[in-house]
Structures are given as C-alpha cells and as structure tokens.
Structure 1
Amino acid sequence: MTQAIHAALPAAVVRQARHLAAAGADPVSAFLYDLPALRRHVQRLTSCLPSGVELFYAIKANSEAPLLETLAPWVDGFEISSGGEIARVAQCSRRLPFVFSGPGKLDADLEQALEQGVELVHVESLGEIRRLGAIAGRMGRRQPVLIRINPALPPHLATRLSMAGGPTPFGIDEEELAQAVALVEQSPHLALHGFHIHAMSHQLDVERHIELLDWYLDKWPSWRALAADPRLVRCLNAGGGMGVDYLGPAQFDWERLCRHLAARLARLELDAEAPRIRFEPGRLVSAFCGYYVMQVLDLKRSHGKRFAVCRGGTHQFRLPAAQGHDHPVLHLPAPGNTAARTEDGEEWSVVGQLCTPKDVLTRRAVLSGLAVGDLLVLPMAGAYGYNISHADFLCHPRPRQVFLEPEASNNNTMESTTCCTS
C-alpha cells in the first residue's frame, strides 16, 4: 500500500503533508498546490493550441495569487466575473489582458474594469448594454464588447450543467441578437468585436465538444453578418466547460480538440471568415495541481457501515458534495503511528467534522490498515474546492494553503495564512 501511495502522490506533496501533520499541535487539514506540476500542465495545454486560438484562464476556478503568478507567463489572459476578481488580476505582477463576463455586473464593477483597462466586456443583456454605454460615456471611453449569446442548441448538445439553450440568466437569446447588435452599434461609446457563447460545463466527451464547436462555427457567418461592418467582428469566445474525470483515469482529450479545430479553421481561412477563437477554461487548467489533506480523528462503525471522521470536511472542500460524486482518496500512513490499524480492503465513508449528514467526501473508499492519526489525501483539488466552500460554517479554523515550488522542501514553500482570527 505504501508503494502505491508513493507512486500516486508527488514526493513533495508526501513530504509536506507529513511535515504539517508532525509540526502542528492539532490534527491537520490543508490544501497543497504543486506549482511545478501546474506549470508543466499549462505549458502542455498552450503548446497544443492552433494558430489564432488563445487560452484565457477563468480565475473563478481558483484565484489564489501564487496560481495566477504561475499561470501568467503561459496563458494569454484571465477571465473574471466580479470586482473582487478584477482586484486579484490587478495584483498579479505580470499584467495580462482580462475579460469581464457574467450576469449581474455592478456599475461599480464595470467602472473598475474600465479603469483597469479591461480588454473586452461580455455583455449579458440589453439592459447591461445600455448601462455599459452610459458608464463608458461618463468615463470618456469607447469600450470593446462581445455579446454573449444564448442560442437554441440542438438537444443532443445539452449537458447536466448546461448554461445555454434554455431559460438561463446567461447571455442574450438568439432571437434578440439583431437587436443587441444594433444597440451596441448605436452607442458611440461601445465597439462590437464579436460574440461569446458558453453552453456546456464539466464536459468530458471531446467528440460532443467538437460537435458544439463545429455548430458555433457554422453559425458564425450569420451572427457576424448582423453587424454593419462584419469585417470588424473577429472574435469568437467559445468559453470553457472542458471537464475533469474525478472517478476514472480517462481525461478530456484536449489534443484531439485542438487538432480538429486547427483543421476546421484552416478550411475557414480559405473563405477569409475564420474568427479568432478564445477558450477560457478554469477546471481543466488548475484542478490537477491541488491536494486536500485530512488527518483521521476517529474510526467508528454505525449500522453496519464504517466511518473515518477527519479534520476538515465539506466546509473546506465542497467539490464532492457540489458535484455529487465520491472523491478519490489516497491513504498516507503516519510514520511511527502505533495506533491500532483496521483490516485490509474495508470500505469506509470519509466524513468531516460538521453537524450535518451531508458532510461526506466519499462513501466507499477501500482503505487498508487505516489508523487514527493517519493522513488521507484527496487529489484533483485545485479547482472549485476551497474557493466555493462555506468555510465559516461551525466556525472551524480555515485550512492551511501551502504552495509548493520546484524541489519543494520545508524551506521552499509559500503558505497562505487563512486561519481564523478573533
């Protein structure tokens, strides 16, 4: 079991997890982020991009400063959706282009975005077009925009987390698109640069995603033709939505998607109609670099089921509950731990400290030789984990966040201090 653990976890993660457990007065819960692995991963993603295709990182997946600093040399920009996220990208040492998406933008957020030099605002409604035009006018700006479209999608292209193709707060219905284009063009303070469409989230099937992109590109000429001068409409933001398989070894085939897109765009270039494509994934970029570490507090049986009660829980790592899946768990025995160990091959529900039966991270983890004081490590915790969690529920301390740099050791890490103070 120990050899399998060491094969599955980077050595730096193992060292740091054990160091945190040994150094703390209380049992540990913490997030560890492998920044060298993140760097290698984003380099691979960007190396596959065809000419004329850009990769922006959607920072909603994880906006911690060390992650943004790691990604900044490799991505083309950042996608943000709030005033708080504008502040995050503004603090990054490498200033990259950023775009502003999402419904319900405050006037103050739009003003802040314009002050910070936002490249494109993705307008989500007719009312937002009017508000942005008025704000840009007061500030003496001419702001480039993309219109976010909510099209009527073919039924087979919908997912369980669809963000277009039906009633939704996202984007402008396709039947109102001509009106939206005219409204942008009537404003002397707005400039239409293209369209944004984000229809799928957490999509694992690359062939369906290819179908979706082909459908976008088939529609592109008719959307573009709505503009008074279609030559000025060049950008198609195809969103993100590429998923991560938390339960199996197969992952989204990014290389296949990029190969197909390269061939499709090459054909479009012959007609001078190829748009500049932009992707804005979040989960696909940052999920794999993160690890959530929990120390076992108690082992118990109830009505024939086994429970490993651990420090932390879904208030710190909400992803499994939000996704509705049993998260993978790796067992890291504590060196020198003399506590009694369980039998091999038993199934355990891994739970946290909360006073709710929903505080479950996995229900059928097969764990051998488990003991109180051991560590459990949940991989693929770098996106939509801590940052979407209800961290103040029960007022437990915040988890530690440790950012591992190359050849990480106890003296070569960065730590974000997130413990509660009172």
Structure 2
Amino acid sequence: MHDFKYVHGELYCENVPVAALVKRYGTPLYIYSQNTLEQHFRKLDKALAGLDHLICYAVKANSNLAVIRVLADLGSGFDIVSQGELMRVQTAGGNPRQCVFAGVGKTEAEIRYALEQNIYCFNVESEAELQRIERVAARMKRRAPVAIRVNPNVEAHTHAKITTGTYENKFGIAFEQVPALYARASKLKHLHLRGVQMHIGSQLTEVAPFRQAVEKVAPLAAALKQRYGIEFFSIGGGLGIVYDPALASGQPEWWQRPQAKSLLTPARYAEALVPLLQPLGLKVLIEPGRFIVGNAGILVTRVEYLKRTGRKNFVIVDAAMNDLIRPAFYDAFHEIVPLRKKSGASTATDVVGPVCESGDYFCKDRPLPRLKEGDYLALLSAGAYGSVMGSNYNSRPRPAEILVTGKRHAVVREAEALPAIWQNEKLAPWQKR
C-alpha cells in the first residue's frame, strides 16, 4: 500500500502532483508520503494488538527528522545503531526511554551517552561488548540494561548482504552459547538483564523464517524469564515490501495491484507469531524499518540524454548511485514510471546515471515507454535505504527531501549546496592559494 498513483494520467503523491514539486524544487528529488508512513505503522500496531508490544522503528532505514517525528507522534519506539541516530531521535522529539541500541561496534563514548540518556536497552552482540558496557556503567555508578542478541542460525533466504541470522554472519551470539553467557552476565553487578533479542535478516517476504526463528528462541526466552526475570523478547525486524510488480497479481495498473497471496502482510505475520509469543508473558519488541518507510518514498529524476550504443538503449538521468545506491550495491529492483503516463510500445532500456562507474545504473534492459530528453521518471519504493545511504561521490550534492500530507508539502531537507560538500576541508599550511 502506498499513496503514489496516477490521476488523469499524472503521478500524484497523496493529493499533490509530483510534477508541481519537481517544477519548484528540481531534481533529483526525494518525496515521502506521510499517510503511507502512518498507515503502515498503524496496520502493524493493530495486527499485534493481542500482545504487550512496542514497535521500535529502525532509524537506519530513513533517518530524516520529519520521518522520525511522524512515527514518534504515533508512539513508536526506535531501534538505533549509533550515537548520531540516538541524537536524531531526540532532536525529532522521540523518547530515549523507548530506544534500543543495536550494532556490533558500540564505542565507549556511545555507551556512555546512551546511558546518560536512559535508553531502554542495549542489544549486545558479543561477550566483549558485554564486558565493555559493564566497565562503562561501573565508572558511571549505573546499571546498564542489556539484552543479548541470539543468533538462531536460521536461514532467511534473503540477499547475502542483508542476512544476519546464521553463523556465517557477524551478528549476535551463537544460540548454544547464550545460556552460559547469561549466567556469567548475571554475576556482573552493573548490568540489568532486561531482555533477549534476535534478528535474522532484512527484506523477508515470507513468514516461515520468522516462525522458525521464534519457535527456536521462544523456549530460551521463557527459561531466561524464569531464571533472571527478563521482561521482554525482541524478535527483530526484517519485514519486506513489494519492489517488483511481477510478484503481485490482479489489476494491470501498477498502483492497483494487490499483494500476492503468499506475500507477508501484518495480518499473516501476526497470525503466525502471536500464538507463539502470547504464552511467554513477555513484552514483545519488533524493529521494522523498510516495511514502514520503503514504499512511502520515491526518487524523481530528469532524463538528460538518450543514447544508443550497439544493441543497448541508454536513458541517462540526473540521479545517480550516490543518490540511490541499492541497484548498484544489491542489484536491487525499483519500479520506474514516468510522471506522465505514456501509451505505445515499450523499449528495452538501461536507465543510468552520470557517475563515472559502470555500476551506476537503476535498471538494465527494462521494458519502458519511449522517453525523450526532459521527461521525468519516478523510482518507486525508494523511502528506505535511499537518501540515508547517499554520498557525495563525484562531488555531487545530495538532493532535497519533501514530505507530503494531503494537499500540503514541506521541505524536510534542503538540497545541498555545492560548496557545502567541501566546507570542512582545507589546504595544508604549506600549500599556497
């Protein structure tokens, strides 16, 4: 579900024509739908109503302050992986006491800051990290709330770069080692064993891996509750979204297609997991990111040139891999549609950016309508891991970001000025100007 659709042949975000935003702010341009954010959060929250639960939005998916604020206003907690993300949550009005701090490489400074802000819990990734948190807490004369991240060794069958729940990955503690580690941790007087956590990967579109992991870890969570009095079980995030319309069925128009019958939805997710979690009597945390924000955003780009080389038809656009790296990094699919609906035959097309890398592309041999210089294209489902993974590669400024609600819109990140890219650089003292 999202709020991007054609109205009389023109692409809209909610009740705002995308072309009007492009005319005012230029391209590349990120546009987010507030209603989509809210509806995805509410659907997941409603599906889990049978549990004492807290949704902790994964800030790394999209850390724009306005996005965070939308979710904070809905009562969301937050899954953070750095001090910077925690400070973003605070700046946006989120509650540190509803934040869980994940990540394998927390520094002493980050641990200290998080303790000062009274975060809800650290998700601990190694015994070395557990010992570091104990040392920092002891110096502060505090008890640090911790949950050990269990690696359940469950294959999520997702992309190799976003799987996290097998012993081939850097995340968490091997399932068999967890009971002994809790026993050792219970003897450290500056730790508070608040919960247990797991996470098996990202962009999962079937419920079976979630069910398998919960079935494996739930008995351990029950035992930890009985022995150490833990209060929560975090089952991680990873709920996927539809990127490729070939996975959907129904009406021929892309914005009308319902999800496929086998696709993961909040209702199916809850139907499979709530019966396994209710008997535990524990608070349940989930840490979704992409599911909430992924389909809530698009990246709009302008066609700069058309080029034919041998058998290839290239459409060269003004957005690049520095703006949206997912296709280059993950070979990820993003549906690409024109701002004005086109009829007629389609042509196998490579949509590519201006960066001097062969990997700077958004699609290859994709059937697209015939395009001309000056046309505009929207890359759909770009709300997660889009702008947040952006860079200044090739000294390219990062684009503006717009939030739309109903007929209103606001700039929630100004387009970066070129001199801002190098404003913190300077010549060495011996270099003459």
| Same fold, judged at TM 0.5 (above) | yes
Q: Is the 8 A contact 1:46 1:75 kept in 2?
A: no
Partner of 1:322: 329
Q: Who is 2:416 aligned against?
A: 419
Cα distance in 1 for partners of 2:56, 2:9 equals 29
Q: Distance in 2 between matches of 1:284 and 1:59?
A: 12
- Where does residue 337 of structure 1 map in the other structure? none
| Residue type of the alignment partner of 2:238 | G
**C-alpha distance in 2, partners of 1:184/1:202?**
33
Equivalent position SS for 1:376? strand
- Is the 1:320–1:361 Cα contact (8 Å) retained in structure 2? yes
Residues 310-348 of structure 1: CA distance to partner in whole angstroms, max 9, x if unpaired?
A: 0111110112223313321011249xxxxxx99731121
Where 1:239 maps in the other structure, the secondary structure is: coil
What is residue 102 of structure 2 aligned with on the other side?
101
Helix, strand or coil: the match of 2:291?
helix
Specify the code of the residue in structure 2 equivalent to 1:265: L
Q: 1:352-400: CA deviations, max 9, x gaps?
A: 11111111101133222411111100111110112113x2111122211
Structure 2 vs 1, CA of residues 101 and 211 (structure 1 numbering), >3 Å: closer, same or farther?
Answer: same
Q: Distance in 2 between matches of 1:351 and 1:308?
A: 6
Q: Does 1:241 align with 2:238?
A: yes
Change beyond 3 A, Cα 1:8–1:246? farther
Q: Greater CA deviation, 213-222 or 371-380?
A: 213-222
- Contact preservation (8 Å) 1:342, 1:370: no
Partner secondary structure for residue 91 of structure 1 = helix
Identity %: 26
Q: Which residue of 2 aligns with 1:55?
A: 55
Q: Which residue of 1 aligns with 2:407?
A: 407
Q: 1:141 to 1:219 in 2, by over 3 A?
A: closer
Cα distance in structure 1, aligned partners of 2:362 and 2:168: 32
Aligned residue-pair number: 396
Please list, as runs of the form range in 1=range in 2, the aligned pairs for 1:8-407 lying within 5 A after superposition.
11-12=12-13, 15=16, 17-23=18-24, 28-49=27-48, 50-95=50-95, 97-153=98-154, 159-160=158-159, 161-224=162-225, 229-230=227-228, 232-248=229-245, 249=248, 250=259, 251-266=263-278, 268=279, 273-333=280-340, 344-389=345-390, 391-407=391-407
1: CA distance between counterparts of 2:100 and 2:298?
Answer: 29
Q: Distance in 2 between matches of 1:69 and 1:192?
A: 30
Taking the aligned partners of 2:185 and 2:410, their CA distance within structure 1 comes to 48
Q: In structure 2, what is the Cα distance between the partners aligned to 1:8 and 1:219? A: 55
Aligned to 1:349, the other structure's residue is in SS state strand
**CA 1:10 to 1:146, structure 2 compared with 1: closer, same or farther past 3 Å?**
farther
Question: Relative to structure 1, is the Cα distance of residues 147 and 403 closer, same or farther in structure 2, using a 3 angstrom cutoff?
Answer: same
CA contact (8 A) 2:400 2:411 kept: no
Quick one: which amino acid aligns to residue 264 of structure 1? Answer: L
Aligned-partner SS, 2:186: helix
Asked if structure 2 preserves the Cα contact closer than 8 Å seen for 1:121 and 1:144, the reply is yes
- 1:257 aligned partner, one-letter code: Y
1:115-150, Cα deviation, whole Å (9 max, x unpaired): 111110111111111111111111121121101122
- Residues 129, 183 of structure 1: 8 Å contact kept: no
State whether residues 10 and 340 of structure 2, in contact with CA within 8 Å, keep that contact through their aligned partners in structure 1: no
Distance 2:21 2:105 in 1: 41
Deviation at 1:246, TM superposition (A): 0.8
Offset, 1:8: 9.2
Q: Is the 8 A contact 2:294 2:384 kept in 1?
A: yes
The CA distance in 2 between the partners of 1:59 and 1:405, in whole Å, is 21
SS in 1 for 2:45: helix
Q: Which moved more, 1:57-66 or 1:177-186?
A: 177-186
Secondary structure of 1:164 counterpart? coil
Distance in 2 of aligned mates of 1:326 and 1:149: 31
Give 1:72 deviation, angstroms. 1.0
Amino acid at match of 1:263: P
Which of 66-75 and 285-294 deviates more? 66-75
Structure 1 residues 98 and 7, CA, compared in 2 at 3 Å: closer, same or farther? farther
Shift of 1:222: 4.5
- Cα drift, residue 15 of structure 1: 4.5
Encode CA deviations 1:260-310: one digit per residue, 9 max, x unaligned: 3233334x2xxxx43322110111111011010000001111111111100
In 2, are the aligned partners of 1:58 and 1:281 still within 8 Å (CA)?
Answer: yes
Alpha-carbon separation, structure 2, partners of 1:350 and 1:210 = 39
User: 1: CA distance between counterparts of 2:14 and 2:372?
Assistant: 20
Q: 1:12 deviation in Å?
A: 3.6
Shifted more, 166-175 versus 306-315: the winner is 166-175
- Residue of structure 1 in register with 2:427 after alignment: none
Contact 1:33/1:403 (CA < 8 Å) preserved in 2?
yes
Kindly state the Cα deviation for residue 79 of structure 1 after the two structures are TM-superposed.
0.6
Question: Cα RMSD between the aligned structures?
Answer: 2.4
| Alignment partners' CA distance in 1, 2:152 and 2:337 | 42
SS of the residue corresponding to residue 92 of structure 2 reads coil
Deviation at 1:36, TM superposition (A): 2.2
The two structures have a TM-score, normalised by structure 1, of 0.87
* Matched residue SS, 1:72: helix
Retained in 2: the 8 A contact 1:20–1:28?
A: no
Query: In the superposition, relative to structure 1, how do residues 310 and 151 fare at CA in structure 2: closer, same or farther (>3 Å)?
Result: same
Q: Name stretches of at least 5 consecutive residues in structure 2 with no aligned partner.
A: 249-258, 420-433
Please give the alpha-carbon distance, in whole angstroms, between the structure 1 residues aligned to 2:15 and 2:53: 37
Q: Which amino acid aligns with 1:317?
A: L
Distance 1:59 1:328, change over 3 A: same
- Unmatched segments (≥5 aa) in structure 1: 335-340
Give the Cα–Cα distance (whole angstroms) in 2 for the partners of residues 9 and 95 of structure 1. Answer: 40
Separation in 1 of the partners of 2:20 and 2:29?
12
In 2, the alpha carbon distance for the partners of 1:8 and 1:121 equals 49
Question: Partner of 2:194: helix, strand, or coil?
Answer: strand
Q: Which amino acid in the other structure matches residue 123 of structure 1?
A: V
